[in-house]
Amino acid sequence: MSFMKIPIASDHAGYSLKSYLINHLEGTGIEFEDFGTHSEESVDYPDFIHPVAKAVDEGIYEKAVIICGSGQGAAMTANKYPGVRAALCWDTEQAKMTRLHNNANIIALPGRYINFETALEAVKIFVYTGFEGGRHLNRVNRISVRL
């Protein structure tokens, strides 16, 4: 089985979900590089999200998983990098469509608001779904254009 290395990071509010994902996806073809945090002690999510987003932006990793309480702050932080397209996903359909149509390279999950089993399936779908290209390519290319 070929393994895909995926960086994963969370703040304290996403720590339980991050641990769940790592434990349940180990040995399935997805191997995680854990960027922290490593407990439920209160931390600032940008401290953990920036290194993951930077690594994706620099091409070190193709895709990543980030988690905070709402998922919003994590996505906002990651999207500061021009090569990042972080998508907040609450369900499996969003995870699928953001890969197919938006070529998202980071999935942001709301640790306080998503069922862990749904998050698990969303991550699997996100990791293994390709970009459809075609009519969506021009739109995706225009995301990083500075006006």
**CA separation for the pair 16, 10 (Å, rounded):** 9
Based on the residue annotation, tell me whether 68 is a catalytic residue of this protein: yes
Based on the residue annotation, tell me whether 89 is a catalytic residue of this protein: no
| Contacts of 118 by beta carbon, 8 Å cutoff, 6+ apart | 90, 91, 92
Biggest CA pair distance of the chain: 45
Question: Considering just the CA atoms, what is the radius of gyration of the chain in Å?
Answer: 14
Question: Taking Cα atoms as reference points, which of 104, 101, 141 lies closest to residue 88?
Answer: 104
DSSP state of 64: E
Catalytic residue among 50, 68, 89, 136: 68
Q: Taking a C-beta distance cutoff of 8 angstroms, is the pair 77, 45 a contact?
A: yes
Q: Taking a C-beta distance cutoff of 8 angstroms, is the pair 87, 93 a contact?
A: no
Catalytic residue among 24, 50, 101, 136: 101
Residues assigned a catalytic role: 68, 101
